[in-house]
Structure 1
């Protein structure tokens, strides 16, 4: 009887969805074979969400993003952006970064690392729309192309193994923020994750938000 109860409990536990299933991110053995486009919801009540496509069976956000003011009297006034993971690990802080309003100070906290933002993201050849991300995973963001509505098209690459004059490697994401100079209502930002990017979602989302802040700073 005890053995049967244990087996039943194990079966019930195994039937529960894991985090990957709940938020629509496939584990490594089920990597999507096509790009998936996610939408950032409109800004409301000091937060926004990253949502899966409408056709997904589970309409549950993947991430929640908040922004608040840091009024520490001993530091420059800053905007602090926090990225939380949703799903089974609701409200787990993935990363936070702050940009001072009238100062060059910028700080990033992700995992066990707290550092100045310049130690995680820097421009390529001093180009204001071309960045390398070197925290944890090396990513390359190229935002030099503009769409017809004024939105930048930011493409994320895994850098090639050989860097002999070549920056473009494997394309893993494309990010389209709203046009900064357009009249409201603004279109929602979108991010498309390619098959090899799903295992790097945390770093792609955080670095995309940092890049967007750099573009509009």
Structure 2
């Protein structure tokens, strides 16, 4: 059975599945000296890759981002986005990082990341009723995404902050201007040194925020 059907029909099944044994500890990334900008490959065959630059340390992993539809007739039609760490030489399969599901009308959302699935509304919430300001709280990690600034081409400039005393900047993400004429510029995802400790939370939360923002258009 497809993984997105598992979430839709039995939210507790994941905790006892083989996937759960692959859930990472979210500390694979060493702290670099400088910010690192990651690139997205072109979309094809229902997935894209997030890859580090060629001059990044060899230990920096890549990630596979795939999207499918949940057509369960008893639930709202939903997009299901799954993130996996890409196969490396010493692993027999890609490592599951997380998965989230958002219905087309946004009435239903589910996140699977570190343990049993949970409602997305328990993890992501709006700040000050703004459409571009979000708070992510999951597994003792708290992040704030501020996407209220717009660039000249219409793209949102999304900045991720930690919720520590200094509210340090951890990452930035600039998606392409989706309402512009093609060809669209590439998305830009930059993670600062302090952000690498929470890299996969930043990546998952960025994808959730971006999905929600595009569904508001």
TM-score scaled to structure 1, two decimals?
Answer: 0.79
Structure ID, larger Rg: 1
Paired residues of 1:60 and 1:87 also in contact (CA < 8 A): no
Q: Which runs of 5+ in 1 are unaligned?
A: 1-24, 162-167
SS of 1:126 mapped into structure 2: coil
Instruction: Assess, with a 3 A threshold, how the Cα gap between structure 1 residues 73 and 104 changes in structure 2: closer, same or farther.
Output: same
Q: Which runs of 5+ in 2 are unaligned?
A: 1-27
- 1:48 aligns with 48
Aligned partners of 1:203 and 1:98: how far apart in 2?
16
TM-score scaled to structure 2, two decimals?
Answer: 0.79
Paired residues of 1:84 and 1:92 also in contact (CA < 8 A): yes
- 2:180 aligns with 182
Structure showing the higher helix proportion among its residues: 1
Aligned partners of 1:143 and 1:52: how far apart in 2?
23
Which structure's relative contact order is higher, taking Cα pairs within 8 Å and 6+ residues apart?
2
How is 1:60-139 mapped onto 2 (pairs within 5 angstroms)? 62-88=62-88, 89=91, 90-136=93-139, 137-139=141-143
Stretches of 4+ moved more than 2 A in 1? 54-61, 87-90
Query: Larger deviation: 60-69 or 105-114?
Result: 60-69
Paired residues of 1:67 and 1:79 also in contact (CA < 8 A): yes
Instruction: Assess, with a 3 A threshold, how the Cα gap between structure 1 residues 115 and 26 changes in structure 2: closer, same or farther.
Output: closer
What is the CA deviation profile of residues 28-50 of structure 1, one whole-angstrom value per residue up to 9, with x for unaligned ones?
Answer: xxx21111100111211110000
Aligned partners of 1:175 and 1:46: how far apart in 2?
21
Aligned partners of 1:26 and 1:77: how far apart in 2?
35
